[in-house]
Chains A and B, each alone.
Chain A
């Protein structure tokens, strides 16, 4: 088990190098260097930058040097913890991301927990009561969940909330708490706002996950070990939870890793629609305004999440499934 994890960890640095190259290429992708386009933008809006400041930035990013040197400079700065400055926001990138990290995480984890807590029981009930009213009800419900785009759900729910209850449910805080320091009142206010985006973001995933869980479990329920467990005298409920549910969950757990970056990136549209102060909309804005260092950093962050997520999945799966664990050793 330990060897298995170490093997995976050894792969990490290599992957990070590959990802950083990709992120860097992305930063370089727009024509011209970003500084030129930024200056042009400033000029267009009537303001300008001092010659000295421009030169300082040029030196910092090594814009006169060959591409690979620029890359090493960038990586070097990241390794020392300096993510650079967003030209668009005129603020350090680490600050910008840090500010939004907590809320993004709260939203992401909330959505994740919501999805699994709802989807797995639905999947289990649907499979064990196949073709019952309950099963059909959730089949229809799930199709709606999968077929409706999340931003659509968001718009409809926001409209309903506004029209019938007269509340604006955009953002994650009420007006009086937006810039207030953290307090219990602010936490309570956050929770009051958080549940709606969590539900909206979660519905889509819940529907998918419940379908997969149902299909996996139906496969397992046909296996001979079921009959053996019954022949031992186990009650139906106990045996379903102990054997087939466990086996049906294993392949799902290997997908947990993919959820991690998805929850951060997948929420872009909904978060924009609902005006949520999370990382997703910031990436969108950075891409639109060609604030490429900010965009590149966020993308690098997403890719790191994917790696970490996969690692978590691998470890979980090895821990749950002795066939994988013992095979690797």
Chain B
């Protein structure tokens, strides 16, 4: 069972058709999520991380759409047998099937909990709502479940917190409430979109360790999105490195950190501040800036900033594809195609 993925994303392409042109926000992304494992998706802001997971939840709105690809999910409630995988892309966008999955088998922890809670409804109201949506329980029972969840995520006073509004809570508690809400229905897959960007560093560490603890207790699969490789190191089992809507490299967390194969991954790793960095005030960053999304793309998306680009214009004229370089690791770079070819 553990060898079978819970979620298979294959060649996902999500585009936004704007007046100025078509933005390929996600351009051929593939990855697997295994049950009980944490997949980290890392990449600079704007590389398509959020669009990827919104596609998985089928929350892409006009003018965006999923242009291509498959998102196969091993659903318990929708599948006929435990081995069935359902392609979420094929389900009607506003249909009851997707609604039955969302918040139930696939739950979201959003980037900004402040904006994601309604300011005029209590925390309790919003928790009970999602419980009763997916479980046939009475108001009393739903309330009990909600209080238990709030307690589990570390609310000192879960009963009174039920009557509070999100803006009355501290940033850390607000995100804890969000985590509690996401976990209420014991989801198979939890998607956390940069859940700690809106809170300070100390609280961030607490929220991360809470997530890690809950993940181990419930054996939930998690897609954890961040632009911070340091966070990935603490939490993830596998890593997908994205750049401009494409996967640059993917593999187990150890490989990515200790044996990075893609020039972009290496650049990202160099930019992490560590205790060993001598001059703290001059952190190395990746030089160059991200090209404009409308810019016509030929060649490797990273070529403009790549320090290892190949001679003879190959990187500029041709686009590399993601290829497995060993049992676990895949890379999208000509440097490795040569290696593979050479063998």
> A residues bordering B, Cβ < 8 Å?
223-225, 227-236, 242-243, 246-247, 250, 320-323, 326
Contact = CB atoms under 8 A, between A and B. Distances in A.
Residue of B104, B107, B129 ringed by the most chain A CB atoms within 10 A: B129
B103 A223 contact: no
Given A223-B115, A231-B103, A247 B108 contact: no
B100 interface: yes
Contacts, number: 69
Interface stretch (B11-19, B116-124, B205-213, B260-268): B116-124
B118 A231 contact: no
Contacts of A243: 118, 121
Given A224-B112, A231-B103, A232-B129, A322 B117 contact: no
Contact of B167 (A231, A233, A250, A323): A323
Nearest to B112: A224
A232 B120 contact: no
Secondary structure of the A contact surface, majority rule: helix
A231 B107 contact: yes
B57 interface: yes
B102 interface: yes
Interface of B: 54, 57, 59, 94, 99-104, 107-108, 110, 112, 115-121, 129-130, 133-134, 165, 167-168, 181
A93 B104 CA distance: 67
B108 A234 contact: no
A323 B164 CA distance: 11
Nearest to A324: B120
B303 to A, nearest CB: 34
Nearest to B110: A228
Nearest to A231: B108
A321 to B, nearest CB: 6
B119 A224 contact: no
28 contacts: A225-B115, A225-B116, A225-B117, A227-B54, A227-B110, A228-B108, A228-B117, A229-B118, A230-B102, A231-B57, A231-B102, A231-B103, A231-B107, A231-B108, A232-B129, A232-B130, A233-B99, A233-B100, A233-B102, A233-B104, A233-B130, A233-B133, A234-B103, A234-B129, A235-B94, A236-B94, A246-B120, A247-B119
A120 B134 CA distance: 31
B114 to A, nearest CB: 9
Contacts of B181: 232
A323 B165 contact: yes
Contacts of B57: 230-231
Contact of A230 (B59, B100, B118, B120): B59
B116 A250 contact: no
B46 to A, nearest CB: 17
B238 to A, nearest CB: 23
Nearest to A234: B133
A230 to B, nearest CB: 6
Identify the interface centre among B118, B165, B167: most chain A CB within 10 Å of its CB.
B118
Given A243-B118, A247-B120, A323-B120, A232 B110 contact: no
A322 B120 contact: yes
A231 B110 contact: yes
Contact of A228 (B116, B119, B120): B116
A231 B182 CA distance: 10
Nearest to B133: A233
Contacts of A236: 94
Contacts of A326: 165, 168
Nearest to A130: B62
Contacts of A235: 94, 99
- Looking at B54, B110, B116, B181, the one whose CB has the most chain A CB atoms below 10 A away is B116
